[in-house]
């Protein structure tokens, strides 16, 4: 009886010895695929910017008096948006930007009926733009384009036979294109440098002087700005500092 029990134990031990290496070899033959981390560039972000605006604003008053105001000034505001990574290095996104400016400029004009000055005070520029970008490590290069809006106070002061002062507030729409580069400083914070061109085309205004007629403003704006963005944790609406 003892002999049969010993033989059974030996057979079980041999079976276990031959089965373990086979299972181990199966485990080694299966490749281990690591989870791919989400790119920090993908997802929601928000931040602030600061820079300068260099508008080119050409005015025509009455029958042809032409001059420029070019109301340059400092620029600053906030931006927020969303990026979607559609390949390992390429992404598309949407960005909304609100900027305020101190831009101011004055020009003089002379018409057959009067002479005077025209002052432009630019108040703000807003942008809603699509973005296409390429990422390589901590760097992100992008181009952008979309719609732009501006608000300005225009003031005409006339002297001579036709005299007076009239101010008008105007909000205008246009288009924009731009390009920039962004660098990841930490896993959540990035710094950027950007150029944008805003075109608001022509808009005509009547300041209440029939002898002068219309004043037409043709406005384009060049923006150069630096900024910082905080990136929310990819796949969430909230991130931790």
Residue 20 in any domain: the answer is no
Residue 10 in any domain: the answer is no
Residue 239 in any domain: the answer is no
- The pLDDT tens digits along the chain (241 residues) read 555 555 555 555 445 444 544 444 454 556 554 444 457 789 999 999 999 999 999 999 987 789 999 999 999 999 999 999 999 999 999 999 999 999 999 999 988 888 899 999 999 999 999 999 999 989 999 999 999 999 999 999 998 888 899 999 999 999 999 999 999 999 899 999 999 999 999 999 999 988 888 999 999 999 999 999 999 976 555 444 3
Please state the domain count of the chain.
1
Residue 49 in any domain: the answer is yes
Q: What pLDDT was estimated at residue 236?
A: 56
**Which residue is listed with tokens 């008008």?**
168
Give me the DSSP letters along 215-231.
EEEEEEEEEEEEEEEEE
Residue 184 in any domain: the answer is yes
Q: What pLDDT was estimated at residue 67?
A: 94
Q: What pLDDT was estimated at residue 111?
A: 85
Q: Which residues pair with 192 in a beta bridge?
A: 182, 227
Name the residue among 225, 188, 200 with its Cα closest to residue 79: 225
Q: What pLDDT was estimated at residue 36?
A: 43
Q: What pLDDT was estimated at residue 141?
A: 98
Q: What pLDDT was estimated at residue 4?
A: 52
Backbone angles phi, psi at 16, to 5 degrees: -65, -40
Residue 191 in any domain: the answer is yes
- Residue 135 Cα to chain centre, angstroms: 16
Name the residue among 219, 182, 181 with its Cα closest to residue 197: 219
Domain that holds residue 178: 43-231
Residue 120 in any domain: the answer is yes
Sign of CA dihedral 78, 228, 83, 174: positive
pTM of the shown model: 0.81
CA distance 227 to 237: 21
Q: What pLDDT was estimated at residue 199?
A: 98
Residue 132 in any domain: the answer is yes
CATH code of 146's domain? 2.40.160.20
């Amino acid at each position: 009886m003892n002999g049969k029990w010993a033989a059974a134990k030996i057979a079980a031990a041999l079976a276990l010895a031959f089965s373990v290496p086979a299972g181990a070899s199966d485990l080694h033959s299966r490749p281990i695929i690591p989870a791919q981390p989400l790119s920090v560039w993908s997802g929601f972000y928000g931040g602030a910017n600061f820079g300068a605006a260099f508008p080119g604003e050409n005015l025509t008053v009455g029958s042809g008096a032409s001059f420029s105001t070019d109301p340059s000034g400092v620029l600053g505001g906030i931006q927020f948006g969303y990026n979607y990574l559609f390949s390992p290095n390429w992404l598309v996104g949407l960005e909304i930007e609100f900027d305020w400016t101190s831009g101011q400029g004055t020009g003089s004009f002379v018409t057959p009926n009067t002479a005077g000055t025209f002052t432009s005070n630019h108040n703000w520029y807003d942008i809603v733009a699509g973005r296409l970008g390429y990422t390589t490590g901590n760097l992100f290069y992008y181009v952008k384009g979309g719609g732009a809006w501006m608000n300005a106070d225009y003031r005409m002061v006339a002297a001579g036979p036709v005299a007076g002062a009239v101010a008008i507030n105007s909000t205008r729409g246009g288009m924009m294109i731009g390009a920039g580069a962004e660098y990841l400083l930490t896993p959540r914070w990035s710094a950027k440098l950007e150029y944008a061109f805003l075109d608001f085309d022509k808009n005509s205004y009547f300041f209440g002087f029939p002898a002068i007629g219309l004043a037409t403003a043709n406005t384009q704006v060049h923006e150069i700005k630096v900024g910082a963005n905080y990136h929310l944790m990819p796949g969430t609406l909230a991130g931790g500092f």
